[in-house]
Structure 1
Amino acid sequence: MSFRLSLLPLLLGLALTGCATVGPDYQAPAVRMDAQWQAALPHGGSTGALLDWWQSFNDPTLSSLLKAAEADSPTLDQALAAIASARASDSQASLSGLPTLSASGSDSRSGSQGGNVGRSSSAALDASWEIDLFGGVRRSQQASSAALAASEADWHDARVSLAAEVASEYVSYRACQLQLAHDQDSYRSQQQTASATAVSVAAGFSAPADGALIDASLASAHSTLLAQQAECEVSIKSLVALTGLSEPLLRDKLAATAAAIPQPASLQLDTLPVQLLSQRPDLVSAERSLAAASAKIGVAEAERYPRLSLTGSLSSTTTRGSGNSQGWSFGPTLSLPIFDGGSSKAAVLTARANYQSALASYKSAVRSAVEETEQALVRLDSATQRESSVAASAANYRRYFMATQQQWQAGSASLLTLEEARRNALSAEQSLITVQRDRVLYGISLYKALGGGWQLGNATAAKGEAA
């Protein structure tokens, strides 16, 4: 129509002088954060890198399990597949603004019964180039590039989470072993007490009630022992699932190291919460997803504007008896959306709503990151302060039990007093193991809350590793 033809010179001039880009230009949102941690920083909050923190445990079994988990993890495989998919989409988007060229050819014979056979051959070369008048292609490239960066950050987040989960389960298993050893010692001690009490009751030196009391205590200790054994077995099953190792091989690895809770070196961290933005891959992923959502607004906006393409073709046809004919064509093609029932406007509104949703998700992720870090700081500080008190309590309850046991053997203390002293000693020792375990687990939680030392620059390494 004449309206379209009148626009053609204008759009051609725009294509030659420079193209517009519709949609918002993305800027990372400013998130309000406190200038410093509100919780106490362990060890003075000295600044240092968190990379290779697992080496500070100096536990070869833990290192071996971490390597096995990373080498065979469905979660990491899924994250790598997401990177490959995002990278393919990014490559596709980067090529979408280039001209396209296609070739075709045919060779056919025709004839009739008793007539001559004719032959016709043709070849054609077609080219087209859609000019990115309003930046739809550029916005699409921005969106795919941001999505790729988000998928790479997700892969790093999966690695950090997997390592923290393996280490936490390993620490819990070692604590379970220590608790099991204490329960076994307590059970053996109660068996000896039960034997001595049975002899005393049979000889008439002790009341039958003492026999009933020690039998009840022995049955309770046996039940506790069985429950603790089951907990240790459950931890082994979890480690099998996390590492992908066979259970016999895993048990061999665990048996190669003495049963002790690994003790990492002091956890170092930056004192400013803003560092979370560069240390936590999940926040990087959320921010890059937000950037992709912003770019998609421009993609949707560009669909509402005219589209201009330059097309050209070369053709050659040879027919027996008719000779050879050649032809060519070149010119612009303008497509102008006039009426689509409001679908293009709805697509823009949808893209803007998706951006607002991504923005809310990003802000929520930042708040959660600060919350996780503050909570881990509080718990780690509490466990660190409580450990010395709990250790003193356990040592003194153990000494009291040993003294009471000697008095009972000498006949100056009752069996009830002995069993009460035993329960107090066992409870205090359980509390010590628990607080020692928790101190390490809270350190791992803090390490994970700070992103495992990952930095945005590591995305380059991820590209090579995920290729």
Structure 2
Amino acid sequence: MALSLLLAACAVGPDYRRPDIATPTQWQAPLPHDGQLDQLGNWWAQFQDPVLDELQRAAQADSPSLDKASAAIRLARANLRSAGAAELPTVKGTTSSTQSGTKQGNGAMPVTTTTGRLDASWELDLFGGTRRSVESGSALRDAREADWHDARISLAAEVATTYVGYRACQLKLSAYEDTLRSQRATAELTQLSVKAGFTAPADGSLADAGAASASASAIAQAAECEVSIKSLVALSGLDESRVRSLLGSRPATLPQPATRTVDSVPAQLLTQRPDLVSAERAVASASAQIGVAEAARYPSLTLNGSISLSASSGTSSLPWSFGPTLTIPVFNGGALAAKVEAARANYDSALATYKSSVRTAVKEVEQALVRLDGAVRREDDARRSAEGYRAYVTASEANWRAGGTSLLNLETARRNAITAELNLISLQQARVEYWIALYKAMGGGWQADAPSKASTEQAPPPRI
């Protein structure tokens, strides 16, 4: 017992320290301005779009991906409780009652024998193997909780991106339908002119071809909008009729995020992104497993005791035993040393994964910033282009009706106008999606707490 108390303060294997990962001192890409970005947890609320809010609430409340992440948390907590139980003694009790006798002519009475036994054992954690196992389990629990938050952020980003895609699809469909109505009207006027002999039949064919092409484009765009609705149904878990009702309750406009600034530095991503916290906790768990493997190479001491009661035909006995058992790994062919080496290899792998994840996180933020900056700077030019082409089409239609230009020139002007309009919508859609990507890359406003010290009985994280 004195030896166990002496060794209780030490545990074999490395004492974990958070890896010092090199990150840039500042962002290299242009930063947006006017406001703050990193304090918004439910970042989608800034769009002030009640339809998006409703879809997000439904998705967060009923998501298979979040259910799977919650189950992983429960499993990690159960494994942690199991590891902690090894630090305590185990006690097992058994009891039995039997009757026995010999068949004789005068009918001898049977003999009843009753026994009870209580066995206890306690393996002293001399070299900290159990403590390292608990340390590993605690780190894995923290990792699974971070994974849950990462799943929540990813789900929110996917819902928002799909919703923005649907609204953009509606705007594109509206542009195609406007063009279709105009081309059908032109085709009707052209056919009347052909019948009257004022226009060549070739112009009639050109007008019909233009209207047919516009109709095909509108049908294809409408199909894409339907695909987006199906995606929103799957993400939100709502009935399709409810989703259609929500989407139809507002006009077809793109949600606009509030302009925000990025006032954090790359190093802060380590506590702003739950996936990085999960990767770091995996490194901590792998480090503790080295201690578990190391402890298995040392002797183990187990205290065993038992007491039993046996009663039969008015007589009873009370045997008992108590004593230590020392187990020494004398020869195992290098298996225990190999397990230590495997644990160290797992640690190196987890550390490499963590480093790679940090670099990827920095890259994702930098790329989102570059794309967002490019989209913002291009939007004014795209808007002027679309407005100019629309004005040119209006003038070309009036000129064509007056006989001042050919139908071919009018159709060319229309194609240029619809292309410019679609480019503007796509650019506006991309700008909003880049904002969403930036929020996701910055961790969605989530902030890591210190490694969890809460009871392992704590419920899974609430769905916000």
For Structure 1 versus Structure 2, the TM-score category normalised by the shorter chain is over 0.9
Match of 1:107 in 2: 97
Match of 2:40 in 1: 50
Match of 2:24 in 1: 34
Question: Which amino acid in the other structure matches residue 292 of structure 1?
Answer: S
Alpha-carbon offset, residue 272 of structure 1: 0.5
Question: Which amino acid in the other structure matches residue 56 of structure 1?
Answer: Q
Question: Does the 8 Å contact 1:172/1:437 carry over to 2?
Answer: yes
Match of 1:77 in 2: 67
* 1:302 pairs with one of 281, 284, 295: 295
- 1:309 is paired with a residue whose SS is strand
- Counting aligned pairs with the same residue, the percent is 55
Match of 2:229 in 1: 236
Matches within 5 A, 1:20-169: 20-43=10-33, 46=36, 48-114=38-104, 115-169=108-162
Question: Does the 8 Å contact 2:7/2:127 carry over to 1?
Answer: no
Alpha-carbon offset, residue 55 of structure 1: 0.9
Deviation digits for residues 430-453 of structure 1, max 9, x if unmatched? Answer: 111111111100000000001111
Match of 2:409 in 1: 417
Q: Distance in 2 between matches of 1:70 and 1:275?
A: 26
Answer yes or no: is 1:197 the counterpart of 2:190. Answer: yes
Detail structure 1 runs of 4+ shifted over 6 Å in the superposition.
Answer: 458-462
Alpha-carbon offset, residue 326 of structure 1: 1.0
- 1:456 is paired with a residue whose SS is coil
Question: Does the 8 Å contact 1:240/1:246 carry over to 2?
Answer: yes
**CA separation of 1:458 and 1:174: change in aligned 2, threshold 3 A:** farther
* TM-score, structure 1 as length reference: 0.94
Q: Distance in 1 between matches of 2:84 and 2:260?
A: 43
Q: Distance in 2 between matches of 1:48 and 1:23?
A: 38
Deviation digits for residues 371-425 of structure 1, max 9, x if unmatched? Answer: 1110000001111111111111111111111111111111111111111111111
Q: Distance in 2 between matches of 1:448 and 1:214?
A: 48
- 2:210 is paired with a residue whose SS is helix
Matches within 5 A, 1:438-449: 438-449=430-441
Deviation digits for residues 123-147 of structure 1, max 9, x if unmatched? Answer: 1222111110111000000000000
- 2:302 is paired with a residue whose SS is strand
Alpha-carbon offset, residue 208 of structure 1: 1.6
Q: Distance in 1 between matches of 2:261 and 2:291?
A: 43
In structure 2, stretches of 5+ residues that fail to align are: none
**CA separation of 1:46 and 1:452: change in aligned 2, threshold 3 A:** closer
Q: Distance in 1 between matches of 2:261 and 2:78?
A: 39
CA RMSD of aligned residues (A): 1.7
* TM-score, structure 2 as length reference: 0.95
Deviation digits for residues 229-282 of structure 1, max 9, x if unmatched? Answer: 111011111111111112111111111111111011123433301111111110
Match of 1:4 in 2: none
Greater Cα offset, 130-139 or 335-344: 335-344
Matches within 5 A, 1:61-460: 61-114=51-104, 115-321=108-314, 323-457=315-449
Q: Distance in 2 between matches of 1:320 and 1:96?
A: 41
Q: Distance in 2 between matches of 1:435 and 1:16?
A: 69
How many residues end up aligned between the 2 structures?
455
In structure 1, stretches of 5+ residues that fail to align are: 1-11
- 1:457 is paired with a residue whose SS is coil
Question: Does the 8 Å contact 2:271/2:447 carry over to 1?
Answer: yes
- 2:444 is paired with a residue whose SS is helix
Question: Does the 8 Å contact 1:98/1:129 carry over to 2?
Answer: yes
